[in-house]
Structure 1
């Protein structure tokens, strides 16, 4: 099953205007994997000439949110996805255009079963960020929840 990238991208840009402001591009969107890209922009660089850490974090968190939308689209009528916490490890200085790949750590069916049972499930989304040189620069885990509507 593939979710149309235009649906997820449009939803992200509408509900999170920062996504469009930062210039994040949606490359691939499925319920199991999202790939987003942040073009190199001198205005978004840090003191050592690479993308600022805030931009790297924002790119990774956006990728994690997009895969959450794609994976849990059937549940959006009854629950709101929200980030709970995150962990990030900057492994080396990034250079140029960044690409983030986000993947849920467990099957959506397990999470949806918890939601159906009346709980507020939490689930990890793992993100890897690479730069223009193709090397890994950052690893993230974003923990999300599906908050049931009242």
Structure 2
């Protein structure tokens, strides 16, 4: 089962918004949000909440791809998120997330008994390539006690 299939099966909001997993790796994830009238805002483009969910889901896909093998000893949790809106989004939008720390460094901190934090940055683009939004999510791996 791929990361996208697993998240689609276990996270109801992913299914609700019909998010599509185009690429998932430990360092990068690309997801798309198809244009759907039921999730439009007053301008006819994707609602801010739908774009937030798209971007946060892209960050979560990296977490699963990079740290899925650590889930028996730590729970991944978002710590903070910040989102900025750059241009009006219309039509299909795509989020590209990038891990901001080497996987090995995060796991090394976990091995030391620490609660590592790591940023994931996300760009949301519309079909013409224009960046419509940016998000940073800081995640942690909370060790099981």
Q: Does 1:57 align with 2:62?
A: no
Q: Does 1:73 align with 2:76?
A: no
Deviating runs (4+, > 3 A) in structure 1? none
CA contact (8 A) 1:95 1:133 kept: no
What is the CA–CA distance in structure 1 between the aligned matches of 2:112 and 2:47, rounded to whole Å? 42
TM-score (norm 2): 0.96
How many residues align? The count is 145
Q: What is the match of residue 31 of structure 1?
A: 26
Q: Which runs of 5+ in 2 are unaligned?
A: none
What is the CA–CA distance in structure 2 between the aligned matches of 1:27 and 1:129, rounded to whole Å? 14
Deviations 1:7-60 (A, max 9, x none): 211221233111011100000111111000010001110001110000010000
Give RMSD over aligned pairs.
1.0
CA contact (8 A) 1:26 1:36 kept: yes
Deviations 1:41-86 (A, max 9, x none): 0111000111000001000000000011101122122111111110
Q: Which runs of 5+ in 1 are unaligned?
A: 1-5
TM-score (norm 1): 0.93
What is the CA–CA distance in structure 1 between the aligned matches of 2:27 and 2:49, rounded to whole Å? 25
What is the CA–CA distance in structure 1 between the aligned matches of 2:98 and 2:34, rounded to whole Å? 21
Pick aligned residue for 1:16 from 11, 22, 25: 11
Q: Where do 1:64-103 residues align within 5 Å?
A: 64-103=59-98
Q: What is the match of residue 136 of structure 1?
A: 131
Q: What is the match of residue 102 of structure 2?
A: 107
